[in-house]
């Protein structure tokens, strides 16, 4: 279940309307308990009050179903046909607990009692005149089947498991990839972050709003590198801190505005954009996590065995950078220190006046694993001071030196106009 999704009043009402429609149709009733006695609800009081609803979306797992897995670098994706998507409305949020207050509905006649105390009292008196029923607590929900794409997102260095800001930003970036590449409209594909238990990487679930699906997501998985490349240009082609309406923000996603931060997905998107398309293979649903584990283990092994010697990959990147005449000279092995003079981190290349730091990793040539992992505290130290951080791993630089160099150059140039 998704926690902390706070929809705007307008979007909550839009979804709510669907809930009611489905709710009143007996044939559509899902596995939610005790819904069968409810036939109609009036909600005039809801539109007057602007408190937000506790809306949640989830993907219902069904044991042993098939999926097709596209093993993209550090973002394996499972395409699931006919997946079960459950949307629930747990009532208006209690401002103090942020939990939904549930709906109070008469089990006899299906009428909805307002949550406001005075209104409820009057409602009870009126209701008792024609109905012997008593009110019970309900969560409203509806469920439908559609095609979904489940992306397993690796946690950022130094963090574990579920990171809501990372996941909602990744979700929005993938929606942008879909809309720019497939020219889908905002309402045709939706996404939500998915928590998956303690210490397990979170996921982003994209689903097609048309029940049954229209084939968009399968198309997206097939052309992901190109689609993400287009999204990358849109998100990083301008300077803004965290997010703006030119990139990740839109009117339909206000509930995420406070969390969106494009720097969280810069590396992820870049790695996907320069990667190849992937031949999907049939797996049991849930294999995406296994695929990510395998990728991470492979990368660790490459580092430990020094498969891509660090000194070498730095030289390859530098050579590619030098092809850009107007790029200012980078500083090698800049020692970034605190005000008190304590060494924090040493990026391989840095442009101090633009605040861009580049890390080429590798393992063999550094004794200190921490300098390579660029853990969260170092990342935060730089980010707080306005630095943009680019990281590459060995295989990437050797396979795509020009694309990597191009990203560095674009980033340095984009920072040109800013004064520090």
* Site for Zn ion, rule CB under 5 A: 106, 108-109, 131, 133, 240, 244, 246-247
**Residue 238 token pair:** 């301008």
Least spacing, CB of residue 204 vs Zn ion, in Å: 20
Q: Indicate the residue among 128 and 344 with the shorter CB distance to Zn ion.
A: 128
Contact present, 394 and 361 (Cβ < 8 Å): yes
Least spacing, CB of residue 32 vs Zn ion, in Å: 19
Per DSSP, which regions of 131-259 are E strands? 135-138, 140-152, 189-194, 203-208
Q: Which of 271, 417, 262 is nearest to 355 (CA)?
A: 417
Least spacing, CB of residue 133 vs Zn ion, in Å: 4
Least spacing, CB of residue 263 vs Zn ion, in Å: 11
Q: Indicate the residue among 59 and 390 with the shorter CB distance to Zn ion.
A: 390
Q: Indicate the residue among 131 and 322 with the shorter CB distance to Zn ion.
A: 131
Q: Indicate the residue among 269 and 292 with the shorter CB distance to Zn ion.
A: 269
**Alpha-helical regions (H) of 237-362:** 266-274, 287-304, 310-322
CA–CA distance, 201 with 289 (Å, rounded to integer): 8
Least spacing, CB of residue 110 vs Zn ion, in Å: 7
Contact present, 358 and 347 (Cβ < 8 Å): yes
The DSSP element (H or E) to which 95 belongs, if any, is: none
Q: Indicate the residue among 316 and 414 with the shorter CB distance to Zn ion.
A: 414
> What single-letter DSSP state applies at residue 132?
-
Q: Indicate the residue among 58 and 407 with the shorter CB distance to Zn ion.
A: 407
CA–CA distance, 144 with 343 (Å, rounded to integer): 55
Least spacing, CB of residue 238 vs Zn ion, in Å: 6
What is the per-residue DSSP string for 18-82?
Answer: HHHHHHH-GGG--S-TTGGG------HHHHH--PPEEEEEEEEP-TT-EEEEE--TT--EEEEEE
Q: Indicate the residue among 61 and 239 with the shorter CB distance to Zn ion.
A: 239
Least spacing, CB of residue 273 vs Zn ion, in Å: 18
Q: Which of 364, 346, 75 is nearest to 221 (CA)?
A: 75
Least spacing, CB of residue 114 vs Zn ion, in Å: 14
Q: Indicate the residue among 189 and 247 with the shorter CB distance to Zn ion.
A: 247
Contact present, 132 and 108 (Cβ < 8 Å): yes
**Residue 348 token pair:** 């391989």
CA–CA distance, 331 with 350 (Å, rounded to integer): 5
């Amino acid at each position: 279940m998704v926690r902390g999704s706070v929809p705007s009043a307008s979007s909550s009402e839009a979804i709510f309307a669907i809930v009611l429609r489905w709710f009143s149709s007996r044939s559509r009733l899902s596995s939610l308990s005790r819904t069968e006695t409810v036939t109609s609800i009036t909600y005039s009081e809801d539109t007057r009050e602007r408190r937000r609803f506790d809306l949640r979306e989830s993907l219902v797992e069904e044991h042993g179903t098939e999926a097709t897995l596209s093993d993209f670098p550090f973002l394996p994706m499972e395409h699931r046909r006919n997946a079960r998507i459950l949307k629930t409305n747990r009532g208006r949020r209690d401002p103090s607990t942020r939990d939904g207050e549930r709906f109070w509905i008469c089990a006899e006649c299906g009428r909805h009692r307002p949550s406001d105390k005075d209104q409820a009292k009057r409602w009870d008196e009126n209701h008792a005149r024609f109905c012997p029923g008593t009110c019970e607590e309900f969560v409203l929900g509806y469920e439908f089947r559609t095609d979904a794409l489940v992306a397993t997102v690796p946690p950022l260095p130094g963090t574990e498991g579920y990171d809501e800001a990372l996941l909602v930003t990744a979700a929005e970036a993938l929606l942008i990839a879909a809309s720019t590449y497939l020219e889908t409209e905002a309402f045709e594909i939706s996404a939500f972050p998915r928590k998956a238990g303690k210490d397990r990487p979170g996921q982003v679930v994209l689903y097609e709003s048309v029940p049954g699906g229209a084939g968009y997501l399968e198309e997206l998985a097939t052309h992901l590198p190109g689609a993400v490349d287009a999204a990358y240009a849109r998100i990083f082609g301008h300077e803004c801190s965290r997010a703006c309406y030119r990139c990740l923000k839109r009117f339909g996603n206000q509930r995420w505005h406070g969390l969106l931060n494009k720097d969280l997905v810069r590396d992820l998107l870049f790695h996907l954009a320069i990667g190849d398309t992937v031949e999907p293979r049939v797996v049991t649903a849930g294999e995406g996590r296994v695929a990510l584990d395998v990728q991470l283990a492979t990368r660790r092994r490459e580092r430990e065995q020094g498969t891509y010697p660090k000194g070498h990959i730095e030289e390859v990147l530098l050579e590619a950078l030098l092809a850009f005449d107007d790029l200012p000279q980078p500083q090698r092995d800049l020692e970034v220190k605190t005000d008190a003079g304590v060494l924090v981190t040493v990026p391989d290349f840095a442009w101090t006046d633009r605040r861009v730091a580049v890390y080429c990793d590798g393992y063999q040539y550094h004794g200190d694993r921490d300098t390579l992992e660029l853990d969260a505290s170092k990342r935060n130290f730089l980010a707080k001071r306005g630095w943009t951080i680019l990281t590459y791993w060995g295989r990437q630089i050797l396979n795509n030196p020009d694309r990597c160099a191009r990203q560095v150059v674009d980033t340095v140039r984009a920072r040109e106009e800013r004064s520090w």
